[in-house]
Amino acid sequence: MATAVKTETFDQEVIQSETPVLVDFWAEWCGPCHAVAPVLDKIAEERAGEIKLVKVNIDEERELAEKYGIASIPTMILFRDGEPAAAVIGAQPKGAIERSLGLAS
């Protein structure tokens, strides 16, 4: 299950993480965000120990959304070593998300 991350916990949960972190920028009112959530849960579940999934509610954490240039949601950014490494915008099938993030085997 994804961890909700706030501005105060973002550095600890994402930037300082030794494990790559998939950050799901979403909002409660966003239908496609709810549609893609189980897909992201599945990706994280299949890669347990290899990747961590966290969620940022852009309505509650506007500062983070602005910092990472979130213009539309859902936007998923994969952080490696504290830096954004890849991103996917919009609800897409699991395989497309994995390919865009460089996770496809």
CB 93 within 8 A of CB 39: yes
Give the residue numbers marked as catalytic.
30, 33
- Residue 54, token pair as written in the block: 């966290």
Which residues, at least 6 apart from 61, have a Cβ–Cβ distance to it below 8 Å? 5, 6, 7, 10
| Residue 65: its H or E element | helix 62-67
- Residue 76, token pair as written in the block: 């998923």
Distance in angstroms (rounded) separating the CA atoms of residues 102 and 86: 7
Q: What is the pLDDT of residues 33-80, one digit of tens each?
A: 999 999 999 999 999 999 999 999 999 999 999 999 999 999 999 999
Ordered domains of the chain (ranges, CATH): 3-101 (3.40.30.10)
- The pTM for the full model equals 0.96
